[in-house]
Amino acid sequence: MNINQNIIQTEYKSSVPIKGICHEDFQNVAETFAINFDKYTEIGSSLCVIADGEVIADLFAGHTTDEKNVEWNKNTLAVAFSCTKAAVALCAHILIDKGLLNSQEKVTKYWPEYGKNGKENTTVEMLLNHSAGLPALKTKVKDGGFLDWDYVVNLLENEEPFWSPGQQTGYHMMTTGWLIGEIIRRISGKSLGKFFKDEISDPLNLEYWIGLPESEDHRVAKVTPFTSGPSDKPSAFADAFRNDLSSMQRLSLTNTGGYDYNSSDTYRSELGGVGGITNARSLAEMMTPLAQNNEKIISKDGVKRLSQSNIRSDIDSMLLLPTNFSEGFMLNMDNRQKFEGEGGSFLIGNNAFGHVGFGGSSATFADPDCNLAFGYIVNKLGGEYLINQRGQNLIDEAYKSINS
């Protein structure tokens, strides 16, 4: 079957042709995917759902640019933003399984230069669960600084934390990639991108890079930034961003050395916090061995670590809403009663684990309880903290189909 030519027919008649494959029992997922383009003005996206190791939905539609002059096809890639953190966390847990890394050890065991200015007692676990106190950089980042690994590592070594490490939680939006990636580099002798390629991407035959080869640039969809409308209610994060120029919210998004997510130089850089490039199919395929708990990537004990809550917060210092993390992964976060508005929750199974990307840009998870793996990626950002209704509706429909 030529997946590019296979038009999915649903009862809902979308204004945009939906292409790919979809099992007959999951037509509701395809219909919800189609509705996103009309109700939520999706530009382009791909979705993949894998159940019991079988691809039961692999869908794509729309366009790769806001101008809508290039169609999204089965080979289109997109920026995964914070779903990259799931890949980086998996790299760390591979080292834990091999006995080369212990999350209870101090960071300085593996990275001695990190132990300065109040960070001496930081543990690896604190880096993984977002309690390390470095969710942003206070020191002014030079132009292009985020593209220079050693430069950012040096900044992190000399930073003072926003809080005493381990004393509170604050989502490390940008810095996680360097903090965990440098430990991976120190232990393995490989860059983060090379380690991910050798240990995860190549063995699973994924189209997923942390550091994209130049030959693949033409496949990447351009990200369209979020623009707020007059009816949008400002979030607590947005208020902090706007009202306090020294806030971690402001610094995390502006003190980046001019970081441009649509730049080919950025594609090339190994930005482990936000810079992975892939498609929905590979997001889901990376999570499939974890959903099956088959020890292909990490051990059964490793999967247990990923699914167990490691730290909860009533109010995350960065996101300013309740959060729930294992060692490196987001867990089920139901904030619908506590947080007004869309985008403040990530509703997955009780033992599922995954991640979402900035502005609802991506979502992925594994649920070992029902052997379900999920991947979703778009090129139009929303204004949400976690997942938005576009993605959550797809997750809900996937679960309904599995449980019906």
Are 61 and 37 in contact by the 8 Å Cβ rule? The answer is: yes
Residue with tokens 């490691």: 310
Tally of structural domains, the chain: 2
Residue 191 has pLDDT above 90, yes or no: yes
Locate 190 and state its tokens: 């490989």
Residues 47 and 114 in one domain: no
The residue out of 311, 334, 357 marking a domain boundary is: 334
Domain residue limits at 51:
1-76
* Percentage of residues of the chain with pLDDT beyond 70: 94
Task: Report the candidate in 314, 316, 347 with the shortest Cα–Cα distance to residue 332.
Answer: 347
User: If DSSP codes are grouped into helix, strand and coil, which group holds residue 165?
Assistant: coil
Residues 155 and 218 in one domain: yes
Residues 372-396 pLDDT 10s: 999 999 999 988 878 888 999 999 9
Model pLDDT, residue 33: 96
In this prediction the pTM is 0.95
Asked whether residue 175 carries a pLDDT value surpassing 90, the answer given is yes
Point out the domain boundary residue: 10, 43, 76. 76
Instruction: Calculate what percentage of the chain has a pLDDT beyond 90.
Output: 85
Residues 69 and 211 in one domain: no
**Are 3 and 116 contained in the same domain?**
no
* pLDDT value for 381: 92
pLDDT digit string (tens) for 325-371? 999 999 999 988 776 555 689 999 999 999 999 888 999 999 999 99
Among the residues of 227-276, which ranges form H helices? 236-243, 248-254, 264-268
- 63 and 105 in a common domain: no
pLDDT tens-digit profile of 44-57?
A: 999 999 999 999 99
Asked if residue 386 is part of any domain, the answer here is no
Q: What is the pLDDT of residue 236?
A: 84
Please, what's the largest Cα pairwise distance for the chain? 61
pLDDT band at 4 (very low <50, low <70, confident <90, very high): very low
Are 194 and 321 within one domain? yes
Residues 301 and 238 in one domain: yes
Q: What is the pLDDT of residue 1?
A: 35
pLDDT tens digits, residue range 55-79?
999 999 999 999 999 999 999 999 9
389 in a structural domain: no
Please tell me the predicted confidence (pLDDT) of residue 2.
43
pLDDT (tens digit per residue) in 8-35: 666 567 789 999 999 999 999 999 999 9
Domain presence at residue 403 = no
DSSP 185-214: HHHHSS-HHHHHIIIIITTTT---BSS--G
Q: Note whether 259 and 204 are same-domain residues.
A: yes
pLDDT at 232 over 70: no
pLDDT of amino acid 226: 83
Residues 231 and 244 in one domain: yes
19 lies in the same domain as 142:
no
Please give the mean pLDDT across all residues of the chain: 94
Nearest to 147 by CA among 278, 271, 255: 271
Judgement on whether residues 196 and 220 belong to the same structural domain of the protein: yes
Domain end position, chosen among 40, 58, 76: 76
- If asked whether residues 151 and 30 sit together in one domain, one would say no
120-161 pLDDT, tens digit each: 999 999 999 999 999 999 999 999 999 999 999 999 999 999
